[in-house]
Structure 1
Amino acid sequence: MSYDAILLTSFGGPEGPDEVMPYLERVTAGRGVPYERLVEVSHHYLALGGVSPINDQNRALLAKMRERFPELGIDLPIYWGNRNSEPYFADVVKQMYQDGHRKVLAWVTSAYSSYSGCRQYRENLHKALTDNDLLGKMTIDKVRHYFDHPGFLEPVIEDLAQKINEMVQGGVASERIKVMFATHSIPNAMGETSGPPARREEWAKPGGAYEAQHLAASGIVMDAVAKRIDAEIPQWELVYQSRSGSPEIPWLEPDVNDAIVSAKAAGQEGVIVVPIGFVSDHVEVIWDLDNEAKETAQEQGLAFSRAATSGVHHAFVDGIGELLLERIRGEDKKALSKLGPWADFCAVGCCPNLRKELPAVASAEV
């Protein structure tokens, strides 16, 4: 494909105390989240100065991409846009068009299939084109899911192996360590409808493709870690965190804190949490894991450690470049699981908006 620009596409976050509640209200609009829950979550941001780390992390990643990509043969301008905070998609899309770009390739800071992690971004970009009267004048395609791409997983493998060795050296036998791969919980209904309809019989309900992809990624990590540690491989499980919806709606479980309590009851002596569902240290990682999960582990008398996210690790930056080159030059796709490589374009009916059905689009242009 002949692309003329790249768009780093992300979630966004507040950059000051006055932005926290307006930001949370934008994020949860129409989702039935109790106001009390928004107030509770706002305190997490305010404890960090009212600033989400995600924007600075994206600025750092953008700088690394601009530095590294020419060496990989990608000589295209790179822009950055957010769903929920400045720089907003509508403004960035308008700027790209004014700069002369007509065929844009978007890479998203979300590696997995779900409405909020995939289709909603496509809807956001479609709306940005519509709001700027650019339908038919400009196209934005989205890079495929990369949950099992080696560039995404190598930084996790590297750091988890180190964390296990450190905990063993600290006196916890590896068979008494529980590795917990953590990701953002989503409503069961969103999990069940994640992924293409034609493949939904491949994975179990209620997690759907979302859970299957996380399990595949976690299994790849543990298989690789087994070759890099000087001890027996610990047991592991997939856990969830950061649920925010109405309490009447079932979300994917177990919650990471409940899992930590269960680990203690099962005789474990240490817990290592791996934020496999996140590409960088979002507030959900820093607060929900580094604070709340750590506190739960301490209350249970368990050793605790948290593995690194991919962040700006050189393998991840190169992996992003490889994902883009698949589309720009048609280079071979890399995937480490039987689920992948994922399709370039989403199928009709994939990860539907269960609140309001919108026309299915394979890219940001209908």
Structure 2
Amino acid sequence: MESSAVDAVLLLSFGGPEGPDQVKPFLENVTRGRNIPSERLDEVAEHYFHFGGISPINGINRALIEQMRAEFARRGDDLPIYFGNRNWDPYVEETVTQMRDNGIRRAAVFVTSAWGGYSGCTQYLEDIARGRAAAGEGAPELIKLRQYFDHPLFVEMFADGIAAAAASLPDDLRADARLVFTAHSVPIAADERRGPRLYSKQVAYATRLVAAAAGYGDYDQVWQSRSGPPSVPWLEPDVGEHLSALAEAGTKAVIVCPIGFVADHIEVVWDLDNELRVQAEEAGIALARSTTPNADPRFARMVAELIDELRLDGEPARVVGPNPVSGCGIVVDGQPCSSSPRCVAADAPD
């Protein structure tokens, strides 16, 4: 087997409950060791119960896997695809053990986060290392594909989503609609953990790329879904507070692009499609929310292209804008991982 060859693909994701009885155990998994009060978990659980106790994320990932299979078949590629999660069934430990039992020796890992930083990249490397440790002797080598926040198809999908959202607004409001990008907030200390504001810089850079592709020279970039005690500083401004400021300034229409998310999971469908939408209606603002990649065939094509980069040691496909931003800072083959099509995770980094 060639050094860059792989014999399988693992889609690695966050996980989510698929029934009301799974919601609380899932949230306990997510928050284990963080001393989150039980009443806070009960509050978040209500967001899931609003949708029947089912997170959209697993269903979206399964649909994406089907799109990946179709894309691979179109290319004449018979790579098997496995699915593992950090926080819920199918757990990554069980999936990697199954891969070992099936004779998989070396697999590419596509994670459902486009970003660097701890939660977007390093924690997935920890998941990979944990899965390999659980599989034990004979565990396959797992190679995390690079971050893709500047991949041309990533930029194209979000730009097209903005265009579709704008088209849904009333004709008389469309031209003056304010474009607002949002991503998941994190504590400022976490944003600085692997370098100066790595995650927030990547989000800001991707936002510039997508805004330019969508034809917008002026826009806002904000944050959402923060949690934790008020004493801990998080990335700001919050999307709800920003919407209030826009309302006070007389804004009549807003296009919200959740650029920080690759799927319409709970932070999108609850925080934006419910809470923010109600706030907008009360403020008299027409709100249009652009879609995320979800199971778009182009998302599957992007995965295939990332795998091709790995196999061929090719030059990563990127949209290049002013002041390009680096990757997570982990060094692979003597280069930052943003410059490499792979991110080897034999051992989890600090």
Q: Larger deviation: 262-271 or 38-47? A: 262-271
Residue of structure 2 equivalent to 1:146: 148
User: How far did 1:79 drift?
Assistant: 0.5
Residue of structure 1 equivalent to 2:337: none
Equivalent pair of 1:148/1:340 in contact (CA under 8 Å): no
Matches within 5 A, 1:154-193: 154-167=156-169, 169=171, 171-172=172-173, 174-175=175-176, 177-193=177-193
Matches within 5 A, 1:1-366: 1-134=4-137, 137-167=139-169, 169=171, 171-172=172-173, 174-175=175-176, 177-194=177-194, 197=195, 200=196, 208-226=197-215, 233=216, 235-338=218-321, 346-347=330-331, 363-366=344-347
User: How far did 1:168 drift?
Assistant: 5.5
Separation of aligned partners in 1, 2:277 and 2:153: 28
Question: What TM-score does the superposition give when structure 1 sets the normalisation length?
Answer: 0.86
User: How far did 1:73 drift?
Assistant: 4.9
Equivalent pair of 2:64/2:296 in contact (CA under 8 Å): no
Equivalent pair of 2:166/2:174 in contact (CA under 8 Å): no
User: How far did 1:139 drift?
Assistant: 1.4
The one-letter amino acid of 1:365's match is A
- Secondary structure (helix, strand or coil) at the match of 2:182 reads strand
The one-letter amino acid of 2:161's match is D
The one-letter amino acid of 1:182's match is T
Equivalent pair of 1:335/1:341 in contact (CA under 8 Å): no
- Secondary structure (helix, strand or coil) at the match of 2:130 reads helix
The one-letter amino acid of 1:65's match is M
- Secondary structure (helix, strand or coil) at the match of 1:105 reads strand
> After superposition, what is the alpha-carbon deviation per residue over 1:58-80, rounded to whole angstroms, capped at 9, x for unaligned?
11001110111132354311101
> After superposition, what is the alpha-carbon deviation per residue over 1:188-210, rounded to whole angstroms, capped at 9, x for unaligned?
1111124xx4xx4xxxxxxx121
Separation of aligned partners in 1, 2:36 and 2:229: 5
Equivalent pair of 1:20/1:42 in contact (CA under 8 Å): yes
Structure 2 residues without counterparts, runs of 5 or longer: 333-342
The one-letter amino acid of 1:317's match is A
Equivalent pair of 1:272/1:306 in contact (CA under 8 Å): yes
Structure 1 residues without counterparts, runs of 5 or longer: 201-207, 227-232, 349-361
Flag the 1:92–1:340 CA change in 2: closer, same or farther, 3 A.
Answer: farther
Equivalent pair of 2:262/2:293 in contact (CA under 8 Å): yes
Separation of aligned partners in 2, 1:90 and 1:34: 28
Task: Provide the identity percentage.
Answer: 41
User: How far did 1:285 drift?
Assistant: 0.5
Residue of structure 2 equivalent to 1:352: none
Query: How many correspondences in the alignment?
Result: 333
